[in-house]
Structure 1
Amino acid sequence: MKLFKLMASVCAVSAAFMFAACDDSSSASSNDEPSASNDCSVEDGVKVVSPKKGDSFKMGDTITVIYGSDVQGSGYRFVFKTSEEDGGLDMLEESAGPMKPDGKKCYEQKVVLTDDVAEPTKTAIIRVVPYEQTAKGANSGTFKVTE
């Protein structure tokens, strides 16, 4: 009977360890705090507060882009860039985000680092761009993307 209890305990501990080891959550080095703890206030444009400078992600990760805006229109593009100079690629097939943002609230958009829009780089940026007023877009901090 003692052997049975010991084996059951070992199995339970092993299962808990395996569950934690198989967690498929993002490998981001950043803690994407709830929007309430970020300052997303902005006037006449867009402000991207996450991802932050120095964050690190892996290909396939889902990133929560946190941003504020007061630019009204039909939504936003989320563009992955390998550097400041790169033109970038759209991460979503259609516009996303609020049409009437207030310039105070934080908004969140999930994007995925897929092979067709992203690549490993030490100088990755996500640019949030209003469709109608592209010059008012803003970049995230520079972050790292690995295989």
Structure 2
Amino acid sequence: MSQLTIGSFEDFEKYIGQELGVSEYHAISQQQINLFADATLDHQWIHTDPERAKTEGSFGNTIAHGYLTLSLVPYLWEQIVQVENLKMMVNYGIENLRFAQAVLVNDRVRLNANLKNVANLRGTIKAEVNVKLEIEGQKKPSFTGTLVFLYHFNS
């Protein structure tokens, strides 16, 4: 995996319409699912009760929370793009987010990122990145959407 280095608006601009890269795979364990359930107070059995999920659930096993998969974005994004010369970055929004496929416990996922657009808003750089969270061995991604980041570079 080769990481892309961005240090300015001009660096981003070169990649409009292009793939920025793909992260390494990350396996989602039952422990990670349980910790997320504890952190978010979402203990629905489809996530936290393996025995019940096997017998009553439609997936044959526990599944990761959709928002757990989404929360992996910062970790996976940093494997794709290293932003240098940065004063501050703000998560500005998510557009057209769609959860397309459940992620089962022990599935491995990775982030695929493509730069949709970048704009210089009086010194604040707005980057729109189309992403999909791919599940190893599956045709459909876990989710797709457009992440919007605001980058404030040092002069």
Q: How does the TM-score come out when normalised to structure 2?
A: 0.28
Give 1 or 2: higher strand fraction: 2
Give 1 or 2: higher helix fraction: 2
Q: How does the TM-score come out when normalised to structure 1?
A: 0.29
